[in-house]
Each structure stands twice: as C-alpha cells, then as structure tokens.
Structure 1
C-alpha cells in the first residue's frame, strides 16, 4: 500500500496560490509498458516527454508529488540566456568550437521556451526584459565584454549598457554601479508554465502519474521502474529528478548537491510604487556569489529571492531571513506586508555545468540534472537534447554535454554540504577582497 496519509500538495508559494489551471493526475496502478519511462515531473521530465511524444515514442512520466512540485514550480521565474558558469573551462575537453556551441545553446535554450509557450498557447505571464546589475564598477567592464561576445555570436536581441548615473531607469535602488539590459531574456510564472507543459504532454499521448514515488529500478535491456502500487516497463529510462533524486541512483546523486534557495512575495504594490521599483518591469539579478534576484509579478508583488543554503536545513522563518536582504535593496518597502514565503532545493554540480548524458554501464538510462540556479531555460534545452539522443539523432549538443566529466562530491551526503559551503565561503572572501 502507498504509505502516504494524504495526496501531496504544492509548497505554499505565491505561484501555488495563483495557478490558472487545476490539474490532477492518477497515481500509477498495475503495469504500464512504454518506449520510455521518465522519472520526474519538473521542466526536465515534462520537456523530454514532449520531445519524445512529438517524435512518435510512447512515454510514461512518474512524479513522486505533484507536477511542478520541485524547483520547476517554485523558482524565481527568471528566464535568462546561458547555460553553465564560465564554459571556457571545458575547452580542453570539447575544444574551442565546443565552447562556442555551449554558448550558442545557452541562447537557443531561451528560444525553446519561447516556442513552447507559443505552440501550446501557455498562459504563464511571459514578459521580456532582463537586467544584470553591477555591484562594483568592474562589473561594467564585464558587461561590455559580455555584450561584445553575444553580438559576435549573432545574438539578435537588443543589449544596452546603463551607466551608474542612469541606473534608476531600470531599478529604484542606490546600490548599483550600472547595468546591462537584455531584451531577449525575461520572466514568467514557472508553475503555470509547468502545468501548461503537462497539459501539452498529455495532449500528445504522454501518460502522467502523480503521487507515484519510485521505490526500485531494475536495470537491464528492459528497465522496470517500481512504485508502491505498480510498475513501468520500458526500453529506455530518463532520470530527471535533479535535487530531489533522494538516493534513487547513488551514482548520479553523488554528482549533484541540493542547496536551499528562498523567495518572499510582498503584498500587491500600488502601481506608482511598483513602477518606481522596477520601471521597465524586467527581471533583475546582481553579480554577487550570494545572489539577489527579483522581479514584479503580474499583480505587482515584488518577488525577491536568493540566499543559497548548503546546510540542508531551511531557515525557521524564511520571511525574517529574507526581508532584511530585500530592504537593503529597497528600503522604501519597510512597510510592505510579506504575503508569501517559500523555499526549495536547487541542484548544483561541482563545475556548474548542467549534467546531461547517459550512464556508462547502462546505456539505455539517460539523465539531466544540476542546473545550478539557471534551470528555467537549461531544463528545456535538456529535454530537447535528450529527445534527440533517445530518438537516435546522433551528433549535436547531447554528445557535447556528455563529454564533460563531473566530479562526485567526496565524503558522501553528510560531507558534501559542508565542503561546498566552505568553497562558497572562499568565493565570497575573494569577492570582498
């Protein structure tokens, strides 16, 4: 019997309170036989399922909780170009052209989301416009270099550098030394996107199952994926659980560290105040290691997030933890009520590049994980690449990602978090110095 006392629910977030559709899928019962079994009902799993179904394969998707329950339905909703952090570090593995392809795929990833929303007419408040904020003057030089490189790659969207004296054109804060606007990135309601993609997958014939915790996987030429009340038999398996893999596959679990990230949402703000905070209704993000990111919701709430935690323990009071950070940026919100507070786990890899590949000892088992806080676009790219690889399309981006080795965090799950926390402390020290 299923040990759950009651069906799982979404985290008590602003997103869960403002969904525009209510979807419910059955738990897995008995046996299902398909071409591909996907484990994980977030963006990675949903988009892999869509890609495969569009290629004519039969797919069953298992989600332990609710569709979009994890980071896909709780994140900051920022849709930003790029995959990975400093992809030049992989030149010795993939070559100069491989590095260039990583950068081009980082641009393509956003366009995949754009196309998905348009194709299936998904109502998710998709709004274009994003801004990088400079915490120190040197960041403006970095922005200028980024702008030049993006233009050399053929980036077709407008990029604009904003000097310090004009920074109030993009943000109502005195904390920043300038900015760069990117009209080709933006923001959206992530849970509504995930639910829209679930409906799209179902319309294509994908069998979706919620409240279906995978208890065991029997590997082989035919994979058997067991839950408490059924099993899926499939030729191919995709593990798309990211930070919520929970020991299901220790080989993959050792390469991704779950880290806590947190968001607060204010009450709806008066139109004039909202316009003063973010005059052009863009998503914004600073450049610190302990990043602040924020944007306005469709009903003019300020959604303010950041503060990665590596302890595995959430703050006892997320609002009390996050509100002072918000007020450092926007002291004018001292009297604004905090209506929602929530958190969740993101998956971080040691080299900060998404991990997309297949298991060496089980070539019919594919995976995608470790988006390191850039999952909205990178998950959609992962779904496309996995779909191509499973359908037998050789070459291209999947093989490039699969070439990159990923370190297993030492010390098992109990030492991974302290070790990464120590590493992040070192980066913060360098940042201050």
Structure 2
C-alpha cells in the first residue's frame, strides 16, 4: 500500500470520530441550554420532563408560555403528545395565535369523584395567552364551555362556565356506558360554573338544574313490588320512629328535593377531594331516592357513571312512586350488617322486636348504622359499645321532635348499654 493511501485510511476514521465528538458536544450544549431555559425558579410549579434518554425538571409556567408563543406554536403543528388522558393532537392557528388541542379518546380523572376516570370519545380545547392571562373554549359532544385562567409562579387557576344546556346532551356523552339511555326520555336543562386550581387539583363546582324529568325506565312497576328481603309485611309508616331517624341520618332534605340534592352533592365533592390520590369516597351525597336506585337497580360500584344512572332512576321514581313509597322500599331493602336485609330483620336481630315498636333511641342507633352498617355492626359485636356520637347526631336531627325532647334523648344516649349482637358468619 502506498504511504499516501495509508495516511488516508488513518485520517478518515479520525475525522469521523472528531465529527461525532463535535455533534455530541453540540447536543450536550443544547441539552444544557434547554435545561437552563426550562429550569424552574425557586418556588415555581414544576414537573419531570423526559427528552430522549435525558430527564430534567421543567417549570410548568415556562412550558405554557413557550407552547403558546407565536414563534414556538408553529413547531407544534401536527404533533401528538402522549399524556395520561390519552393522545393529544396539536394544531397551531396562526391567524388567531391559538393552540388547539384534541384528545381522542380522552380519560379525565375528576377530583372528588373516585378513582375511576370519565371517558369521552373526544375532547377539544383551545388555548390563547395574553401575558399571564389564558382563555379559550372546551367542547365534548354538544357541550360547549368557555374558560379563563391566571398563570402564576406556583399555580394555574382556571374558571369554567357552561351555559344552560339540555341535560340529555350531557348524558349523551356517556351513551356507551349507560344502557338506560336507549329507552329513557330526559327533560330539563343544566348549567355549571367550576374553579380548578393546579397543581393541587382543588375543584369547586356550582351546578344548576332546572326541570329534570325522566320517563321510560319502568319504575312504576315498583308501586306494587314486594321486598326481596323477607316475606313478613312491615307495619312501618313515615311517622314511625325508624322512618324519622333514617331521614335524619341519610337525607335531611328528603321531603324538599326532587330526587337529588345539589347542596349535598357539592358538599360531598369538596369532602372527597381530601381523600388523597387513592380516590376514596368519604361522603356519597346520594339522596334516599338515589340509594334506593342503587339497592334495586344499579348496584354498589363506585364510579361517576353509576351516579349518573342512579340520578335517572331517582328522578323517575320521585314521579312514579312518591316519597312515602320510596321511603317504604328503602326501609325494606337497606343493608344493616352481615346477612341482614331490611328494617324488620335488623330490628328483630338487634332488639328482638318489630321495627314499628322501636323506641326513639333504638331507632336512632339503627339509622346511625346505615352510613357503614358492616363496620358499625362488627364494632358493636366486638366491643359491646355503640357509636354514641353518631347516635346523638341522628337524635338531634330528628323532626318533628321538640328541641327539648331531642336534647334529653341525646343525653340519655350516653348511658345506652344494649347487649352486643351475635352476627352471622
């Protein structure tokens, strides 16, 4: 081999190595530049961000400002971002300088509604930024809402307004998951205002519902239905101590609402947000009508969709059955501990008497058990002690007892010492 050719074979690989080293240095320099640009400021809301094999902490306010900047937005055109909600497709609308996002299918984890996400076929969102002020629209199916946001160093505060909309359009979003929609006729309208603060996912909702009426589910058949819990007829009436105590414990506005209680639902949403990432439901917010729907039709699955199904049946039962029959059916089917179904079985097991013969304090304790009958029954059996505090709370809410009598009965509850029950295995 000639000397010149030998030198060429030596310099070619050396040149390639030098080029690779230069490229690696440039990429490394670019990484540190990007890292410096996206690095969160002290106290700034940040998230982990992966760039190829590298990972860094990125300030969320900086990411939002970059994504909505006129010189970065065009670079996002046609790109798809993998996210926990589902694939997010991005479009940059140059004329209006708006970033349009489309998530399809889209799974949304709503704070305070349990661990199961809500699934939508498609959700579209537009984002426009002016300084630290954000606004846009969000749509799913026939629902159209506007939103505004304020971007701060440590949080993003969002406000959403859904104008008055047919309730049927809202239910249509979940058509595949709610079989009753095939035969239900739903009337009425609803509106919504909500505030969401990120990253804490603190959600507050102010709903409005007008004229909800449901038909087509066949609940009129329950007018003459017999209890599946036992053959013996109950002599309980709406004025019995147990009926009054159950209303006090489970649904104090039972005679005022039309199957659902927006005040209680809003309070339950706020309470459940304190349950942490586990998505526990600490407060249900269901009326007696909704609980009856759960007992007879929808089952006890903890999910937002089950709540929507409950609401349909509750609204129809208010019309087809009326309050006295709803309360009667609830008392006949409510669970009261291991192997106990209905008020008569519970009353005879725990106190050896018919349900209509219970004293006010006995009725208050049975009603107090309903929030978690299995747990309360086991504690009573194991310790011999009832939940005095909750029993007193029920007594003080029992109407139409005079205030003086309620206070006296609540004091007497401190001395209650009933024999511990023997539970079914």
TM category (shorter chain) comes to under 0.3
TM-score normalised according to structure 1 size: 0.21
Q: Which structure's residues are more often helix, by fraction?
A: 2
Higher-Rg member (1/2): 2
